[in-house]
Amino acid sequence: MTGQELNSAALPKGPHSLTREEVLASQRARLLTATLNAVGQCGYATLKVERITSEAHVSRTAFYEQFTNKEDAFLQAYDSFGEAFLAQLIEVSSLASHPLAAVESSTKLLVGWLTERPLAARAWLLEIYALGDRGLDRRASTMRAVEEAFGLAARWIRRLDPELSAVRPLVARGVVAASFELLSEAVRDPTPQQIAEATTAISDLWIMGMTSMPYEPGSSPKLTRDG
């Protein structure tokens, strides 16, 4: 069990030895999770603070000790979800022996997040639009962070095959934008087939974008212009 999961667990009833900081951390983790789940299930527009506090098993007072309103809670939950995903993405990629293996492990991670946390994924990918410009600004910041990950992978490939041409301007932005759209389609229609098709397409997009060439499954990991 991770530290996040421990903090998300309900606090023991009655007297306990937890510090004030531990109590607040537990409440915050549960509120962030509850916010994403509630937004993903009922939509941001109709969301009430009471729905969040009920799911998190905390009082309204505890909620307002952490957030100013439901928008603040959603934005912070959005950031927390994205930061956790990016951290895991970087971790699994760093353990890969080759850029193509990194793409494969990353897509497997992606499938896990979509299938294990469908409500949170729906809130993160779709409901963020309900916040207007503030939500779009947050989404844009997340996409820039993913673009940086794309750039790292592209430079890694070119260290292995210096003959590859440089990645063209805006390729990273196009690949990431298309990836988000494919993910959004999978969240709207979360069938196993749709999720599998989306993640395969995202994998192909990243490989083609980073190498400027198509990739055939089972081909040699050696990267050249001739492919």
Tens-level pLDDT at each residue, the chain (227 residues): 333 433 455 555 555 567 889 889 999 999 999 999 999 999 999 999 999 999 999 999 999 999 999 999 999 999 999 999 999 989 999 899 999 899 999 988 988 888 899 999 999 999 999 999 999 999 999 999 999 999 999 999 999 999 888 888 899 999 999 999 999 999 999 999 999 899 899 999 999 999 875 445 555 445 444 44
Q: Which residues contact 156 (CB under 8 A, 6 or more apart)?
A: 99, 102
| Per-residue confidence (pLDDT) for residue 33, from 0 to 100 | 97
Say if 216 falls within a structural domain. Answer: no
Say if 119 falls within a structural domain. Answer: yes
| Per-residue confidence (pLDDT) for residue 119, from 0 to 100 | 96
Q: Which residues contact 205 (CB under 8 A, 6 or more apart)?
A: 175, 178, 179, 182
Domain of residue 153, CATH code:
1.10.357.10
Helices marked H in 43-131 — which ranges? Answer: 49-56, 60-66, 70-94, 99-116, 118-125
Say if 224 falls within a structural domain. Answer: no
Say if 177 falls within a structural domain. Answer: yes
Say if 30 falls within a structural domain. Answer: yes
Say if 225 falls within a structural domain. Answer: no
Shortest CA distance to 89 belongs to which of 68, 71, 108?
108
Domain count, the chain: 1
Q: Are 216 and 226 within 8 A, CB to CB?
A: no
| Per-residue confidence (pLDDT) for residue 169, from 0 to 100 | 85
| Per-residue confidence (pLDDT) for residue 170, from 0 to 100 | 92
Say if 206 falls within a structural domain. Answer: yes
Say if 220 falls within a structural domain. Answer: no
**Domain membership of residue 29 as a residue range:** 3-211
